[in-house]
């Protein structure tokens, strides 16, 4: 819990000047008018493009990532390494704690997520299934 609190304390905050820039940013407006990217995701993606620090966006929204990748390929290429998908997060935990650890903890949620259902259908290839489902690959 201490790590989470530290991450929250270090999170980027938007001041009034940045809010004004984002409100009129053509990239944010284009994102917000793209099917499968909602206004909040458009704001977060455009903010990620504005800031230079090593901030990352963590998302489980495959449709948003696909719409961003397909609709804005140049921007996607620039920001791809600063976006973490649900699958990448699970793979990092697999690396740190082991695949069995992750499987034991996500099995209960498989009914809520198609990626988990697919990956858990063959636990021998759990990590390969996560990698193949990663919208950032």
63 and 6, same domain (yes or no): yes
Q: Which structural domain, as residue segments, surrounds residue 102? A: 86-133
Which of the listed residues 45, 61, 85 is the one where a domain comes to its end?
85
- pLDDT by position in tens, the chain (length 137): 566 666 666 666 777 888 888 889 999 999 999 999 999 999 999 999 888 777 888 888 999 999 999 999 999 999 999 999 989 999 999 999 999 999 999 988 888 888 888 888 876 789 999 999 888 88
Please give the model's pTM, rounded to 2 decimal places. Answer: 0.79
Same structural domain for residues 77 and 91? no
Domain end residue (candidates: 69, 85, 101): 85
Residues 93, 77 share a domain: no
Per DSSP, helices labelled H in 1-137 are 2-10, 16-23, 26-32, 39-50, 62-71, 73-79, 86-97, 99-106, 114-120, 126-133
Using CA atoms, how far apart are residues 121 and 40, in angstroms rounded to an integer? Answer: 33
Q: According to the model, what pLDDT value does residue 34 have? A: 97
């Amino acid at each position: 819990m201490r790590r989470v609190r530290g991450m929250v304390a270090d999170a980027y905050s938007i001041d009034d000047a940045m809010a004004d820039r984002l409100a009129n940013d053509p990239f944010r407006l284009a994102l917000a008018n793209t099917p499968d990217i909602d206004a909040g995701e458009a704001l977060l993606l455009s903010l990620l493009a504005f800031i230079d620090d090593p901030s990352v966006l963590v998302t489980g929204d495959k449709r948003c990532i696909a719409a961003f990748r397909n609709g804005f390929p140049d921007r996607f290429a620039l920001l791809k390494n600063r976006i973490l998908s649900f699958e990448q997060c699970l793979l990092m935990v697999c690396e740190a704690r082991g695949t069995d650890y992750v499987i034991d903890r996500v099995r209960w949620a498989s009914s809520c997520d198609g990626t988990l259902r697919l990956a858990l259908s063959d636990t021998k290839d759990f990590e390969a299934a996560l990698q193949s489902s990663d919208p950032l690959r």
